[in-house]
Amino acid sequence: MKTAPIMKLNASESFVRCPLIAAAGLLLGFTSLFGYASPFPVVFLGALTGFDCVYALAGTLTAFLIRGGFTGFAENLHLIVVMVAIAAFRFFIGRQKGRWADTSTAILAGSGVFFTTLILSGGAEIILRAPAYGLMTGLGSFAVAKSRAYLMSGRVLSALRPSGYAALGFTYALFIAALANFEVSMLNLGVFTSSLCAVTFSYKFRYAGGAVCGTAGAFGIIMANPAYTAPALAVCIAGMSAALFSRLGKYTHMAGYVLTTGVFAAFTGIDNYTFAEINSIIAGGIIFLFVPVALITRRFRRETVPKGGAEVSEIFAQRLRLTGEAMGDVKKAIEKTAEILDRAGSKEISWVYNTACGEVCRRCRHNMICWGGEYDETVRVMGDIASLLKKGKQIKPEHLYGPLAYRCGKRQQLADALNAQYREYTAINTANRKIAQMRIILLSQISATQTMMLKMSGEFGSSSDFDRALAFTVENVLFEHGISEPKAAVTITNSRMAVEAYGRGRLNCNAEKLCDLLSVVLRREFDLPEIIHNRESGEFLLTMFERAAFSIEYGVYQVSRGKEKNCGDYFDSFIDKKGFAYIILSDGMGSGGRARIDSAFACGMLIKLLRAGVDINAAIEIINNSLLVKSADESFATLDVCRIDLYSGNVELFKAGSAPTYISCNRRVVKAGGKGLPVGINHRPVYERQCFTIGNSDLIIMASDGAELSERWLEHELGKNEWGKEDMNSFAETIATAAKYSSDKEREDDISVIAVKLVR
């Protein structure tokens, strides 16, 4: 089980950090909201983890004792209860990241403050104060935690979502509200800080900066004390108005800010209560003059572009994604164009006699009578003729009847024209159907290609870490052991290391020695590598991955139908760089050599696509399209794919027309059937996906259609001997032989049995 890494602080870092956190908790313990102890300490605790919570809690409790002695301690008992609960919760979850931890903390903090305030305090105003405190505490805890995560991530500000901006704004408002509790001489620290930030952001970001910063600061000031509403509005309005003077320079910008504040104060009136706050606003504007312009206008450190630029994998992932989206656009364009052209090019049966009669009857003197006064009778005759044409009959003059036949002097010409137009009608519709079928295959292929590109783009652009130094080390090892021009990639995904290498030549050592060498230089334990040598081209391929929690052992046994030399079933297996083991069984149409071709084609092609990193769903669709156009004869095969995650034991079955699979867990056998169709039958592959989890020594038994197995018999076999524990090949042979003897002789077919065991 993977645990979160423990972040250790060195002595100098902890010596500075811990007192600062305790001091912050101490200051927040002195704050109040609406005349009562504020929940700001609870919000602060909700954003901390580990021992930081203990330091903050100690600072806050000290503040309660200093503020009112044990009497003040008792008055704030409801907040103390919540803080202890939050500190314990955040301490034990450690440094776990994720929205669930912050959301859980926010819910715990908000509900805790609400209920404890409602229960442990007295007074009629609690009915209004408790919900307000609870809502503000919950939202504040979540916002501060999210803002802290952003500030520590180093991401650019433009990469934030609207929820991120809202979190930063709410955190800033809470910060101003906390500072508004402290006054030095004639200055209110909250109003002063809000004023300084508003005039600074207004100068840097113009109207947007002044509006956002001023509004958030005004909200914080009002939260601290509703009596400060006038100064709060002054900060907001002055921050936006000062942007009018920004282009004229820093001094003019400050003068406009102070002038707006003075005009606002003159209109609203200044009394002894608001005088200090107006002074704080003006002081913030004056201090702005002493802030260097370079400091205001420069870009923050996290907004700078890294020196190395974008990774090659990221660029390649972006190109794959754009290409995949372009393929999707091509598919949509083909569908829309085809819809329009189909409507324009499709012919109804009425087109046959309308065109034929148009050619023959155009200059006939009875045209107006036949197609005017007796229109209904003429159409009825032509409808009967159309029915004869659909039955494959040739139209003759005697097939015309009624007044039309009596009056018409060109019966033979009309019959010949009807036959000719029907042949053209049949040819057009046949061509349209073939085009429609090919279009379906083309669109399916485009869809599969799009899925493949988007899936590969996601993998290249994922959080995988490509270690170039380790890749160079692998290349050196391969070069020293006979591989020329080696190219290696070492990836680390979710702490799992995988190695993939290419080159030319042949290794001068065995797989075991190579595995030991690479395990030493990479400092990881690896399973035996999978090595492929192409004798014709001389190419070399190596795939190996970090040793997983499980491995597989499997045995195979095949029985041909009757006296056939070749079995129509085909199987293969491999393990990819992500730690997934694939076991694939395919059954071709019929038996013998002809079925062997289809099953080998489907299984072999699927293996190549999966090895290349193609998504399994896209790979099945590509194989389905390939079988549709492989030959003029019917060509289809079943697919039975078993994918096992060797790190977790999770299993996925993909069944396209295949026989049931049997899973043995603790010697109880469960049957997993499928409702799909063999690939190559339908224009779209129809297959079923099933998921489950197995453990150590559990078995999976895959079989072709020729083997009819019984769950009870399998349980009996597993119970009476040790086939499933020792020799998987003998176990598979036992099952296949028993299936052959018990099969219906009239329905005899090739039999293949694959027994797979998960081993820790």
- pLDDT for 407-457, tens place per residue? 887 888 888 888 888 888 888 777 777 776 666 666 666 666 767 666 666
Q: Answer for the pair 206, 227: CB distance below 8 angstroms, yes or no.
A: no
Based on the domain organization, do 369 and 505 belong to the same domain? no
Instruction: With a cut of 60, say whether residue 632 has pLDDT above it.
Output: no
268 vs 487, higher pLDDT: 487
Q: Which CATH number does the domain housing residue 591 bear?
A: 3.60.40.10
Based on the domain organization, do 598 and 729 belong to the same domain? yes
If you average pLDDT over residues 95-114, what whole number do you get?
72
The whole-angstrom separation of Cα 408 and Cα 355 is 17
Based on the domain organization, do 12 and 137 belong to the same domain? yes
> Among 490, 520, 545, where does a domain finish?
545
Based on the domain organization, do 538 and 490 belong to the same domain? yes
Q: Answer for the pair 513, 556: CB distance below 8 angstroms, yes or no.
A: no
Q: What is the pLDDT of residue 41?
A: 79
Based on the domain organization, do 616 and 716 belong to the same domain? yes
Q: Answer for the pair 525, 477: CB distance below 8 angstroms, yes or no.
A: no
Based on the domain organization, do 401 and 508 belong to the same domain? no
Based on the domain organization, do 649 and 751 belong to the same domain? yes
C-alpha dist (Å) from residue 404 to 170, 189, 386, 400, 751: 88, 105, 16, 7, 68
Based on the domain organization, do 623 and 568 belong to the same domain? yes
pLDDT in tens, 338-388: 666 566 566 778 888 888 887 888 778 777 877 777 888 888 888 888 888
pLDDT band at 395 (very low <50, low <70, confident <90, very high): confident
- Residue 320 covered by a domain: no
Q: What is the pLDDT of residue 229?
A: 76
Expressed as residue numbers, the domain containing 429 is 346-458
36-37/183-184 β-pairing: unpaired
pLDDT band at 11 (very low <50, low <70, confident <90, very high): very low
pLDDT in tens, 637-669: 888 889 988 888 888 999 888 888 888 887 688
> Among 99, 126, 160, where does a domain finish?
160
Based on the domain organization, do 450 and 473 belong to the same domain? no
The whole-angstrom separation of Cα 463 and Cα 583 is 28
Alpha-helical runs (H) found in 181-271? 189-224, 229-241, 250-268
Q: Answer for the pair 234, 262: CB distance below 8 angstroms, yes or no.
A: no
Structural domain count of the chain = 5
- Residue 337 covered by a domain: no
> Among 494, 520, 545, where does a domain finish?
545
Q: What is the pLDDT of residue 442?
A: 67
Contacts of 339 (CB under 8 A, 6+ apart): none
If you average pLDDT over residues 256-274, what whole number do you get?
71
β-sheet with 530-533: strand ranges across: 465-466, 483-493, 496-505, 539-545, 530-533
Based on the domain organization, do 617 and 582 belong to the same domain? yes
Structure tokens at 615: 């998504």
DSSP per-residue codes, 617-685:
HHHHHHHHHHHHHS-SS---B-EEEEEEETTT-EEEEEEESPPPEEEEETTEEEEE------BTSSSS-
661-665/699-703 β-pairing: antiparallel
pTM score of the predicted model:
0.44
Instruction: With a cut of 50, say whether residue 310 has pLDDT above it.
Output: no
726 vs 5, higher pLDDT: 726
The whole-angstrom separation of Cα 734 and Cα 744 is 18
**Run of H or E residues at 540:** strand 539-545
Q: Answer for the pair 703, 735: CB distance below 8 angstroms, yes or no.
A: yes
Instruction: With a cut of 50, say whether residue 3 has pLDDT above it.
Output: no
Q: What is the pLDDT of residue 12?
A: 44
Based on the domain organization, do 415 and 560 belong to the same domain? no
pLDDT in tens, 153-209: 555 454 456 777 787 877 887 788 778 777 777 777 878 888 888 888 877 777 777
Percent of the chain with pLDDT strictly greater than 90: 0
Based on the domain organization, do 47 and 126 belong to the same domain? yes
